[in-house]
Amino acid sequence: MANLSGKTAIITGAAQGIGLACATRLIADGARVMLVDLQPQGAERAAELGANACFFQADAGLKAQVDAMVAAARAAFGHIDILINNAGVTHAAPFLELGEDDFDRVMRINLKSMFLCSQAVARVMVADGTAGSIINMSSVNAELAIPNQVPYVVSKGAVNQLTKVMALNLAPHAIRVNGIGPGTILTELAKQAVLSSPQSRHTILSRTPLERCGEPEEVAAVAAFLAGPDSSYMTGQTMYVDGGRMALNYTVAVKDAAQ
């Protein structure tokens, strides 16, 4: 367990999936957490997490709402130590059929939101003299492309570079910036998008050496590590939580469910 006693965190995209798992883990490790999401059910999730959780409804890709989010976090916590940029969406379409509006929407939510939230929070950290930690949720698809996920792949590749350039800029202020690149994690989104049939499950497992999908809690454990003191000499890195997928240049045999 990371020692996050006395620390405060903002987590975007926290109403479900990896974001909610990160909030649950950070609270278990002693932090107070503001869950941020456009979906109102985030309020219910925050209530379930108890007194150390609160909820703020916002679109993390809109500057005015980000500024309001940061002001609310300061009012609630007094200071901000940790930011986890987790808000993200996908849009499947062949390259020749992808619409401009859909490309812009994915880039705004997946990439611009990280810039806006990080800049706003980092300004507060610098003003308060806080040695903070910012964590950007990337993906294996920052490096491994999927043909019908054009804006998602592009946005995640850019997130890795944003992580590096932020880390260089903020190092003089003792603010560390790192990324996490999940593989296929068993969120509701993944179950609907890529694990909806035996064929798609077979495809995923054939390129996963550990022969299983990951759990949101396994990503959250890495987030807690990056948020806490045990990663104090790490910045500008993206850690891949992918069951070995990034190291693989072939497919592996998959056992049928009946075996």
Q: Enumerate the active-site residues.
A: 152
> H or E element: which one contains 127?
helix 113-128
Please name which of 32, 222, 225, 238 lies closest in space to residue 214, comparing C-alpha atoms: 222
> H or E element: which one contains 43?
helix 42-49
Task: Characterize the bridge pairing of strands 176-182 and 32-37.
Answer: unpaired
Distance set, CA 140 to CA 90, 136, 155, 163, 215 (Å)? 14, 13, 12, 15, 15
Residue 60 · residue 35 · CB < 8 Å: no
Q: Determine the Cα–Cα distance for residues 54 and 186; give it in Å rounded to an integer.
A: 25
